[in-house]
Each structure stands twice: as structure tokens, then as C-alpha cells.
Amino acid sequence: MAKDYIVAQAFLGTVSKEDKTPTIVQSKAGPCHKYIFKVEGQEMDGWLNILRKIDENGNAKPLNQGDTVYGEVVENNWGKAQFEKAQKPYTPGQAPEQPSQRTTAPAPQETTELEAKVDYLINLFENFLNSKAGTEPSQNSKNDEDGPVDLSEIEY
């Protein structure tokens, strides 16, 4: 079962002991640094791995002793310890983790084509319901803009 673990030891994984270049792993989220760590009260002996996304400056959020990670320590196919990161459940009264930079798109001033189509469909539906009830159709329907069509002028 996933839970919070406190990191007991941690270091940035490198390509080799001589070359201190960090190990970069390509994941679905993009390039990540690989951190190797142990947690307090770890049931299985062995080092665990976790990936941290590299930002646009080439840095990743470091994993240090005392940090908290949420997940589960399980045995992998080879009988070794493996850390499986998990999504922390939301608990009421606890503020969700906020991203470091928040970007919001400005609200569009004009209605988009999709909004216009939705409004049109709503008007059609309301007119249909009103016709069943015997009331007048609304004036916003696009059907009112088109006049009657003379089909006698159509060539076969």
C-alpha cells in the first residue's frame, strides 16, 4: 500500500564513478535525472530509483535526505527492492500541491466557433421543447435568419 516515506540517503545517479555526469533517462514526461535513495524503515534491503523531470534550465528538483516521497517499496521480478511512485490522494482541508509557476490563459473576448455551435444547439432544443408546449420559438435561432427556400429553381 502506498504511503509517505522519509528519505534516509539520496544521491544523483551518474554515468560512472569517474565521470560525474548525471544519468539522464528519457521518459514519457521528457528527460529526467535519476536519483538513487533509501528510505527510513525500508523493509527490503537495496537502493531505490526515482526520476525527476529536468526543467528548461537543465535542472531537476533534487532529492535530499529528509525529503518525503509517496509510493510503495515492492519486490521487482529479480527479487530486488523497487520504488513505485503513486499519486497522493486528496484529503479535504489540505491544500493541493501548487506548481512553482502558474500560467493562465487570458479569457477570450469573443465567443468561439464551438460556443456559437453550442448556443445554436441549445436554441434548437429549446425551440423544439417550446413547439411541443405550444409556445413561440426563441428569436436567437439561426433558422429564423434563413428565409424560405424555393426548390423549384433547383436543376436536376
95-139 confidence digits (pLDDT tens): 666 554 555 555 555 567 888 888 888 888 888 888 877 766 555
What per-residue confidence (pLDDT) applies to 66?
A: 92
Assigned C-alpha cell, 26: 528519457
Contact by Cβ (8 Å): 35, 12: yes
Contact by Cβ (8 Å): 40, 4: no
Predicted TM-score (pTM) of this structure: 0.55
What per-residue confidence (pLDDT) applies to 7?
A: 92
At which residue does the C-alpha cell 560525474 appear? 20
Determine the Cα–Cα distance for residues 41 and 45; give it in Å rounded to an integer: 10
Backbone dihedral region of 28: left (phi > 0), alpha (psi from -120 to 50 degrees) or beta? alpha
Higher pLDDT, 94 or 35: 35
Which one-letter amino acid corresponds to residue 5? Y
Residues 24-79 have pLDDT tens digits of 888 888 899 899 899 998 888 889 999 888 888 888 888 989 999 999 888 888 88
